[in-house]
Amino acid sequence: MESPPNKLEEMLALYSDNINGLMDNQLALTAQVQVLQAALATVLLHHADRPALLGTFQQYMKISKQSAPQLASRMEGLEAGMLALLGQHQA
């Protein structure tokens, strides 16, 4: 006859389920971002006034990085890709 699980085993199982749920959510969010990036790239590459979009985008990025400095370094790689799509190639 098996003994009932103790509190530590129950907590471990709960934490494991929570971690698995967080990982699933992270993968779902990553997939959503990838789809949105592809859609945005498609629109940007066919927009008639990319120079105007470039200026607006740079203003919004500056505000975004100031508002969330803990994310600023992670935003920079994505920002560089978007700037390239908008026609500004960085050296």
3-state secondary structure of 48: coil
Does residue 75 carry a pLDDT above 70?
yes
The domains of the chain are located at 1-46, 49-91
Tracing tokens 């799509």 back to the chain, one arrives at 85
Nearest to 45 by CA among 91, 84, 90: 84
Element (H, E) at 33: helix 7-45
pLDDT score of 4 = 65
pLDDT score of 67 = 95
> What pTM was computed for the model?
0.59
Locate the DSSP E strands across the chain: none
CA atoms within 13 A on the CB side of 54: 14
pLDDT score of 64 = 93
Q: For residue 13, give every residue at least 6 positions away whose Cβ sits within 8 Å of its Cβ, in sequence order, or none.
A: 5
Convert the pLDDT of each residue in 7-45 to its tens digit: 999 999 999 999 999 999 999 999 998 998 889 888 888
Where does the pLDDT of residue 77 fall: very low under 50, low under 70, confident under 90, or very high at 90 and above?
confident
Convert the pLDDT of each residue in 5-15 to its tens digit: 799 999 999 99
